[in-house]
Structure 1
Amino acid sequence: MTGPSTTADQIQPAHPAWMRRLLMTATMILLLSLSAAAIGSIAQRLTAPAQIVAVAPQPVPDAAREVGMPLVVSPAWLREQRSVPESPLMVIDLSDIRAYEREHVPGAMHAWWQDGMDQNAASYGQALSPNPYPTGPREWFRSLGIDPSTRVVAYDDRQSRDAARFVWLMAFVGLENGAVLNGGLAAWKGAGLPVSDEAPPLSAPTELATDIVPPMVIATAELASWLEDPALTVVDVRTPAERNETLNDTIRTGSIPSSIPIPWDRLILDESGQLRSNAELRAIFAGAGLSPDREVVVYGRFGTDTGLLWLALRLAGYGTIRVYDEGWAIWASRPELPITE
């Protein structure tokens, strides 16, 4: 005896179990991806740079030098000099790109400060590998449209530290027309000057044939051999917090023997990075035992940390200043080199 027949219309196709699991997995992945994208977008908004708060511009230290423009300029100076047609002037904003897109000095061009580093160097932040000298910083300036006749004023949103490094890099490749805007955008706004969210047209690359200045830097081997030389003064620019960093337990803590601590944040008046007066800077350096007639070597965690102290020493009348561009990150990673706890 046979059972009831089944018609084609009564057959209900069913997905195999493996297909159902695959569909469920794909759906979960899609939902997780959308959630991650939403969280990432929220996180980006939460971590976006804060609005630059205006500060009252303070008197600019005497920043004249033998050649080129002053090392530090005021908002008023920048406003006046931009109207001088016979002498081109470029403003470089080294801030976070999101801060730049929101507001900047009108006509300022954005540049990313890390582009001034040698990507092949052993230590983060170095401007150059030991030998041969690369053309990295020079090519960066060329791509920005900077040539020996271009006057450049730089500012950032990190207490003038990146702007000072930018000016040091310019001097490093033989360009003496770089200056830091004292207090950056905060002081510009505090002077009642307008801001813009429009990017200017890109400048055409220039022909830039300048010579790198090797005496402005010192390598690890040379520094190690000179530590006992009484004519040399080594200055540590790190803050107490920076001195305790181990870079994920990859380096030792401590300092280069006989180095003198002068944290970079002692050199500025406020969060905008406005520099102290020449008299105050000279008093800080003299109190720490520095002398203008002795060679000074400056180091930080990385080479990029040294610009502000280099600038302040120049303002205070110190002539021979060299940057240990490999920085504490390299010194502390080499167990054969001495350290002081």
Structure 2
Amino acid sequence: MIQPALIKKQRLILFALLVLITITTIIGLGLGYSSLSYDRLLPTFLGQGTFKEEFVLFSVRFPRIIITLLAGMALALSGAILQGITRNDLADPGIIGINSGAGVAIAVFFLFFPIEAGSFVYLLPLVAFIGALITACLIYVFSYNRHTGLQPVRLVLIGVGFSMALSGIMIVLISSAERSKVDFIAKWLAGNIWGTDWPFIWAILPWLAILIPFTLYKANRLNILGLSEPVAIGVGVSIEKERIVLLLTAVALAASAVSVTGGIAFIGLMAPHIAKALVGPRNQLFIPVAILIGGWLLLLADTIGRNVVDPDGIPAGIMVSLIGAPYFMYLLFKK
């Protein structure tokens, strides 16, 4: 049974995070290459703005902010699941190569298949899922030992190797592509939030609407998988079946996110750790907190990055990496 004091603490933290997200969103709506006065935000939302104000707000800023929030939430939840099923604090879809697998699939699809403008947006998450799934299956097979089961440290090392190899494949693909398509792939590699129109929101939203409740439903199974394998088997959990189902969930979440944001790492690493430090390791408690932290971290990184240097700014993926890489090294030495 979860202590009432912990539940109360979780609710207070969730409320504080919602306030942080709201404040960051308001700041982000006003900042940018075409500035929008803060006293005009509410009138513009109510339909009383000029054409320019409504265009900047509804066609440029607002969809980008929503996409960034949703992608950060998906990456954070994916990282939480991966850390749970591998019992490894260093697991993250960006670090262990899942994002790179999705990126290679998107690049191949973008470069070599005929693309129809209407279906391109909605096919991207599916294409990314296929690439990420193939990568995750290969990593899982190479990390699995018939006698000792899944080896967490080996999984991270093999995942890092796959990530580097897939990055090399991406460079080979770029070298043989035409200039206009190279620009798109280069933006993806840098972690630039490129899917900033409303159709991208409708493309990613169903994945989160299904997979977030499903993961919360499976939270108790994640708690059991975090224990030793003999204990998990003793309470009647089919370890391999649950791992595969949850791995598919993590892959789908990561793929849906990177299909519109590019190669962003470390959100899935940092958000679960921060959440566990705030409310403890129980999945029912820390997963909702991690989801909001992930959304806020990516939103904050993108808001800072796009306003640091005019006119294009610094990609959100680079901003996150500036924070995440030292944190990864700290965890690596700690463990």
Shared fold, TM over 0.5? no
Normalising to structure 1: TM-score of the pair? 0.25
Normalising to structure 2: TM-score of the pair? 0.26
Higher strand share: 1
Higher helix share: 2
